[in-house]
Amino acid sequence: MELPTEGVVPAKPAPAARPQRQRKLANKHKLFLMALPFLIITFIFYYLPVSGWIYAFYDFIPGIPLKDTPYVGLQWFKSIVANPTQTAEVLRVLKNTVAMSSLGLITSVFPVIFAILLSEIKTGWYRKLVQTLTTIPNFISWILVYALAFSLFSVDSGVVTAILAQLKIVPEGYNFLASDSHIWLKMIIWYWWKSLGWGAILYLAAIAGIDQDLYEAAETDGAGRFRKIWHITVPGLIPTFFVLLLLSIGNFVNNGMEQYFAFQNAMNKDSIEVLDLYVYNIAFANNFPFATAVSMLKSLVSVFLLFAANTLSKLVRGESII
């Protein structure tokens, strides 16, 4: 027992500090426990599926338990290179994937151009109207996009088919959606019809954030419209563009499935099947283990690309993207 010194009332620091530390300790665990159910759900829905990779090593047939199916090692992976028909098919799918992703990368400047040009429009309400209305298609599903396309391009009553036929761009009775020709071009056009307005929003915000004094200074120096765009606006947009570009490099093998799934049919299947759709199609043909093997390779390549993009980002910008 300590005696009070200097006649001051003891501030009781020790007893006060201990509960506080204990409380902090209790909080530490309490907070974790509150988050725990969510972490378990995350584990179940996002991490547990990785265990399904094991099916790639078995001759698995849906319906038969895994323990009764023969272990085949790397057979499914080897078949990609060993079996000529399989190799040809995988190469075809890879070609489609690379084509669609490359087209996507090349055209990723579209939203930048859209934003720059839109911000050149001086009538405020018109700019706002364009911005609002062009983002609508982004919020409908690919199935709905396809449904709209189905009506507009229908062979006997579609308005676009009729107009194109009248302009002699396509022959009479042309089935736009069932045809295999220019399918990559068609897909990228649909993609930008849906995403252009939405994709431009970030850039429009970036343009709005550029210091107006810069433009005035450039004007006094006699810079015209295009020089102002080139020397002020474009440099202001490059950081945003770069991050998005790196993310899409990371997603090079993930085209997503919905667009291709919605638009695929027997006629265009050969040129529309990207990896994601291919995995789905072979799984539906009941070849589960091969589908698993392909999606496993795809996931691994995708992680590798993401790390590569991230490293690149750290080197160039000194900042990571993830």
Partner 1 sequence: MRKKQTAGDRTFQVCLYLLFGLFTISCLYPFYYLFINTISSNDLSAAGDIKFYPRGIHFNNYVKVLKISGLSHAALVSAYRTICGTLLTVGSSAFLGYLFTKKDMWGRQIWYRFIVVTMYFSAGLIPWYITMNNLHLTNNYLAYILPTIITPFNIILVKTFIEAIPPSLEESAAMDGAGYLRSFWSIIVPLITPILATITIFSAVNQWNSFVDTAFLMTETKYFTLQFLLWRYLNESSSLAALIRSSPDMAASIVNMQTPTSVRMTVTMIVVLPILIIYPFFQRFFVKGIMIGAVKG
Residues 14-33 that bind partner 1 (CB under 8 A): 24, 27-32
Give CA–CA dist 73/57, Å, rounded: 5
Query: Which amino acid, one-letter code, is at 48?
Result: L
Select the span of 78-86, 94-102, 145-153, 178-186 touching partner 1 (CB under 8 A).
145-153
Binder to partner 1 among 80, 98, 152, 312 (CB under 8 A)? 152
Of the candidate spans 3-11, 74-82, 154-162, 179-187, the one that interacts with partner 1 by CB under 8 A turns out to be 154-162
Cα angle: 238, vertex 239, 245; to 5 degrees: 80
For the CB of residue 187, give the shortest distance to partner 1 in the complex, in Å: 17
Q: What is the dihedral of CA 252, 258, 263, 266, to 10 degrees?
A: 90
Name the H helices within 269-317. 269-272, 275-284, 288-317
CB of 5 to partner 1, least distance (A): 31
Q: Which stretch binds partner 1 (CB under 8 A): 14-22, 77-85, 96-104, 138-146?
A: 138-146
DSSP state of 264: -
Which residue in 299, 301, 308, 312 binds partner 1 (CB under 8 A)?
A: 299
Measured over the CA atoms of residue 197, residue 200, residue 202 and residue 204, the dihedral's sign is negative
Beta carbons within 10 angstroms of residue 240's beta carbon: 16
DSSP code, position 63: T
Kind and range of the H or E element at 246? helix 234-250
**Residues paired with residue 71 on neighbouring β-strands, in sequence order:** 58
Site string for partner 1, 89-118 (x = CB under 8 A): ----------------------------xx
Using alpha carbons, select from 168, 188, 167, 166 the residue that is nearest to residue 263. Answer: 188
In angstroms, give the least distance from the CB of 111 to partner 1: 12
Rounded Cα distance, 100 and 108, in Å: 12
- Which region, judged by CB under 8 A, interacts with partner 1, from 75-83, 95-103, 134-142, 178-186? 134-142
Which residue, 10 or 34, is less far from partner 1 as judged by CB? 34
* Footprint of partner 1 on 190-229 (CB under 8 A): 193, 196-198, 201-202, 205, 225
| Binding to partner 1, residues 165-194 (CB under 8 A) | 193
Span of 13-21, 67-75, 152-160, 178-186 interacting with partner 1 by CB under 8 A: 152-160
Helix (H, G, I), strand (E, B) or coil at 295: helix
Q: Which of 98, 141, 89, 136 is nearest to 261 (CA)?
A: 141
Residue 176 · residue 196 · CB < 8 Å: no
Q: Is 320 in the site for partner 1 (CB under 8 A)?
A: no
Specify the residue, 170 or 291, whose C-beta has the smaller distance to partner 1: 291
Candidate ranges 10-18, 141-149, 178-186, 210-218; the one touching partner 1 (CB under 8 A): 141-149
Site for partner 1 in 35-74 (CB under 8 A): 35, 38-39, 41-42, 44-53, 55
Tell me the site size for partner 1, rule CB under 8 A. 88
